[in-house]
Each structure stands twice: as structure tokens, then as C-alpha cells.
Amino acid sequence: MKRVLALLAVVAVLSATATGVLVWRLTRHHGPDFPEISAFTDGQLTRIGPYRYCDVHLKACDVPATTGELHVTARHPIQLSVPQPVARAPWVLLLAYEDGGSTVSEFRPNQRLAVTIPTVDPHHGKLLGLAVQLPTLARDSDGNEFPLPHAEWSVRTVWP
């Protein structure tokens, strides 16, 4: 009888300890949770948090300076995926190439969650990197409006 009670006491203590640890891990704050984009090519997947993330008024900004990296070849395109919080807004895809040129693609809200990106452009050469931006309208002192990114994610390509 004493063994059974001792065993039950040990089980109760271990259960309480495990529950406490679980609650602590689930409730501790890890800092801001920013959306992540993902980029995939030839068996490689990278998930990237933002390089810069501001509120839409550009008043409060966090700059975690996170960048991604993918090893690429001309044979395999990049599959870029953006999460719903990014796709719900207008977003911009910037592609930078070895000739110094770049291309800009704009997507309307709820239009695209994924984009296939060739790693070589016939006019610009090899893709050096890409950026996803969330624009907001800003106004200068003369009253002119222009888009500025309030959030940006960045992926650098590495060639063999």
C-alpha cells in the first residue's frame, strides 16, 4: 500500500512539473511575431522574417535585419510564397540582376500567394536577389504622394 501511495505521489509531482514547464513555454513572450516569406529551389527551403517592419504610418519600426540566402542554378526557378498577412495587402516583388537592372511586379490584395521566379533573365542575366515589400503612401513637404515600403523581406542568391 505504501508503494502505491509513493508511486502516485511521484506521478503527481512529475505531472505537475511537466504541466508547469509546458505552460511556461507556451506563455513566455518571444518578441514580435512578424510574417515570414518562404523561398524554395532545388530541394532548398528558406523561411525569412522581415529585414525591416514598420507600422503603416512609418512611426514605429523594428529592423531585425533578417536576410535569406538560396544557392541557385540556371536550371531551377525559385518558388516564392508569401503568407496571408502579406497577400491581403498590395505587395511588390523586386528582382535585382547582375547587369544592374531590376524588375518590379505589383500584386493587388488577395491576388497572389506564390510566384515562380526564373533565376536567369534573357535581358538582365543572373538573378542576384529578390525583395518583397509592403508599400504605404507617404507625402512629402510639397504634398506629393509616393509609395514607401513599410515592410521588406530580402533573399540573396548564391551562384556556383
Q: Please give the Cα distance from 45 to 70 (Å, whole number).
A: 8
pTM: 0.79
Domains in the chain: boundaries: 1-30, 37-158
- If 0-12 CB within 10 Å is exposed, 13-18 middle and 19+ buried, where does residue 14 land? exposed
Query: Could you tell me which residues come within 8 angstroms of residue 52 by beta carbon, excluding any fewer than 6 positions away?
Result: 61, 62, 63, 64, 65, 149, 151, 152
pLDDT in tens, the chain (160 residues): 777 767 666 666 666 666 666 666 665 655 568 999 999 999 999 999 999 999 998 999 999 999 999 999 999 999 999 999 999 999 999 999 999 999 999 999 999 999 999 999 999 999 999 999 999 999 999 999 999 999 999 999 999 9
